Structure 1
Amino acid sequence: MQRFLAHSTYIDCDAPGIRARARELAAASTGELDLVERCFEFVRDRIRHSWDYQLNPVTCRASDVLRHGTGYCYAKSHLLAALLRANGVPAGLCYQRLSVNDAGPPYCLHGLNAVHLRAYGWYRLDARGNKAGVTARFCPPREVLAFPIRGPEECDLPGILAEPLPAVVAVLEKYRDVRLVHANVPDVAPAAWHAGAGDPHSISR
């Protein structure tokens, strides 16, 4: 479980800004579930989704997401993981493969989180930000994610990762404009994932 509490390059939970915000959220909480919900709702509602709001800069590192107040789903998941880890709650990253236009190819990865709750074990939650047609909530043990799996090539990619996928980091680090990220969103086919594109050290839910 220590991997899911660790500070790292992109989930930089020991950064001063992350620590300060994590303390603020913890100070108002009444227990673990309330703390996790406060962290989740802060990232979901207070950090604006880059494409929804057409906001630059493109962010990746959790502390940069917090500082600029914006990020793609992947970056927002890095921030949520960092805030939870800073509060001693194990958190990891999950991915879905979804249709970009809800109608077959092309496909892209969607980033979300898993948190280990003492009362329920691993639980997925999605802080990408609600909008028309998207209503993600924290209500364990029931998952209420942003996007359902619909088409035959869409799927929940298995496992919980301690660190972001290299393919995700590569896109967020390469492109400096949200429109370029949108035009080059990362994708990993299920067969490639099972062949080792995911983290071989991830854990099963």
Structure 2
Amino acid sequence: MAESLERFLEDTECVDWTDMLVTRETAQAITGCVTDEEKVKAIFEFVRDDISNAMNIDSVALPWTASTTIRAMIGNDDAKAMVLAAMVRALKIPAGFCYQRLTVVDDDSEGHYLHCYNAVYLDGNWVKLDASGRLGAKDVRFCKIEPDLAFIPREVYGECNVPGIFAEPYAPSVDVIRNAGSISDIIFGLPDSIDVEPDIKE
């Protein structure tokens, strides 16, 4: 298991946890925390509550790396997940990415997109965390026992949880955010399926 977790600790272009801004915000967020669980919970609440979701406020800021998202204090679901992963990895705790296939609107008339959230390896188990804070999801809480996610997939509309945990955010999703000129480009441009195998199968 130790070798398979190495990829979940890497510093990458998107999850740039060695950036000085990321390490500084991490240290500030975990002030007063002692255990790894306390530290991850504090980071989760910082990302959930303090970094605005660009999809909620029609922002023109479209950062796509952890450091630029912290600098702007705004980002879409994927960007916020990159921040959480980067800050947790800065503590040498493995963190990865999970996905749900969700509808773009209330039904499936406008198709689907991939919603990104996190998995963090705590006390020998993967803990699912969704700090996106979308559409009133601020009440979604840190929970080690059962995933408390912002969205519950509705099978009738073709929504589902994508199985597995990925060490890096899905590249086609990152490309959409990187090249987007507007929120609409992201909403209608994100892929609706994943064609690569997860690093951790569930």
Asked whether the two chains share a fold, i.e. TM above 0.5, the reply is yes
Determine the C-alpha separation between the residues in 1 that align with 2:189 and 2:133. Answer: 21
1:114 aligns with 2:119: yes
Aligned to 2:181: 176
Measured after TM superposition, the shift of residue 99 of structure 1 is: 1.2
Say whether 1:32 aligns with 2:36. Answer: yes
CA contact (8 A) 2:96 2:118 kept: yes
* Amino acid in the other structure paired with 1:3: R
Match of 2:164 in 1: 159
Offset at residue 100 of structure 1 (A): 1.5
The equivalent of 1:59 in structure 2 is 63
Task: Identify the match of residue 147 of structure 1 among 147, 151, 165.
Answer: 151
Shift of 1:26: 2.8
Selected match of 2:79 from 66, 72, 75: 75
For residue 130 of structure 1, report the CA deviation from its aligned partner: 5.0
Q: CA deviation at 1:42?
A: 0.3
Matched, 1:136 2:174: no
What corresponds to 1:97 in structure 2?
A: 101
Name structure 2 gaps, 5 residues minimum. none
CA deviation string 1:103-160 (max 9, x = no partner)? 1241111000000011x50011101015436631102112110000112421111111
- Stretch of structure 1 that moved more, 170-179 or 92-101: 170-179
Report which stretch shifted further, 23-32 or 13-22: 23-32
Q: 2 CA distance for matches of 1:133 and 1:24? A: 24
How many aligned residue pairs are there?
A: 196
Cα deviation, 1:67-106, whole Å, max 9, x if unaligned, reads 0011100110001000000011110001100111231241
Please give the secondary structure, in 1, of the residue aligned with 2:155: coil
Equivalent position amino acid for 2:103 in 1: S
2:199 maps to 202
| Cα distance change on mapping 1:57 and 1:130 into 2, 3 Å | closer
State whether residues 55 and 134 of structure 2, in contact with CA within 8 Å, keep that contact through their aligned partners in structure 1. no
Query: In 2 relative to 1, CA 122–133 (structure 1 residues): closer, same or farther, beyond 3 Å?
Result: closer
Normalised by the size of structure 1, how large is the TM-score? 0.90
What is the one-letter code of the residue matched to 1:136? V
Contact 1:95 1:111 in 2 (8 A): yes
Q: Could you tell me which amino acid in structure 2 is paired with residue 93 of structure 1? A: F
1:76–1:127 CA contact under 8 A, matched in 2 = yes
RMSD over equivalenced CA pairs, Å = 1.6
Q: How many percent of aligned residue pairs carry the same amino acid? A: 33
Q: Which runs of 5+ in 1 are unaligned?
A: none
TM-score of the two chains, using structure 2 as the length reference: 0.91
> Aligned-pair distance for 1:55?
1.3
State how far apart, in whole Å, the 2-side matches of 1:92 and 1:154 are.
21
Residues 23 and 87 in structure 1, CA contact (< 8 A), matched pair in contact too:
no
